[in-house]
A and B are shown apart, each in its own frame.
Chain A
Amino acid sequence: MTRSGLDVLRQPVYAVLKPSEIVQTPPTYDAGSVFRKVWLGAALLVFFLGNVLVYTLPLSFAGIGTVSPEATPPAAFEAVPLGATDPVDAWVFLLRVTQNSLFLLAAAVITFVAFHVAVILTRSSKGLIRSLRVITYSSALYLATVFTLVWLASTNPNVGVADELLLSLQSDFVYYFIDLLGSPLELPGGRVDRPAPSGLTPAGVSILSGLAITLCYYAYVLYLGARKTHGTDRIESVLVVLFVATSPALYVIGSILVFEFAISVPDLLVA
Chain B
Amino acid sequence: MGTHERISGDEYEFTPVVKVLIIQFGLLIGAGVVVLGYIAINPGRFGDPQIGQLLFTVIGFLLAIALLRILIRIFILRRTRYVVTPRKLHREYELLAKRRTREIPLEQLRGMEFEQGRLQSILGFGTLTFLTAGTNQSLGFLQFEHINSPAEIRDKIRGVSSMYEPGADD
Contact = CB atoms under 8 A, between A and B. Distances in A.
A50 interface: no
Nearest to B139: A26
Interface in B57-80: 57-58, 61-62, 65, 68-69, 72
A26 B138 CA distance: 7
Interface string B45-56: 001111101100
Contact of A197 (B48, B68, B136, B138): B48
Given A28-B136, A28-B137, A213-B62, A18 B69 contact: yes
A210 to B, nearest CB: 9
Contact of A26 (B54, B62, B72, B137): B137
A27 B131 CA distance: 12
A29 interface: yes
B68 A17 contact: yes
Interface in B30-49: 47-49
A216 B62 CA distance: 9
Contacts of B134: 27-28
Given A27-B140, A28-B137, A206-B57, A197 B62 contact: no
Contacts of A213: 58, 61-62
Interface residues of B, number: 21
B50 A205 contact: yes
B48 A17 contact: no
A16 B61 CA distance: 11
Nearest to A24: B139
A110 interface: no
A47 B8 CA distance: 51
B38 to A, nearest CB: 18
Given A18-B69, A206-B57, A209-B58, A27 B50 contact: no
A27 B72 CA distance: 26
Interface string B64-104: 01001100100000000000000000000000000000000
A85 interface: no
Nearest to A206: B57
Nearest to B141: A27
Nearest to A212: B58
A6 to B, nearest CB: 12
User: In the complex, which of the residues A206, A209, A213, A216 has the most CB atoms of chain B within 10 Å of its own CB atom?
Assistant: A209
Contacts of A17: 65, 68-69, 72
B139 A197 contact: no
A200 B61 contact: no
A196 interface: yes
Contacts of A28: 134, 136-137
Given A17-B72, A205-B57, A212-B54, 18 more contacts: A17-B65, A17-B69, A18-B69, A26-B139, A27-B134, A27-B139, A28-B136, A28-B137, A197-B48, A198-B48, A198-B50, A200-B54, A206-B57, A209-B57, A213-B58, A213-B61, A213-B62, A216-B62
User: 10 shortest A-B CB distances, which residue pairs?
Assistant: A197-B48, A209-B57, A197-B50, A200-B50, A26-B137, A212-B58, A209-B58, A197-B51, A28-B137, A205-B54
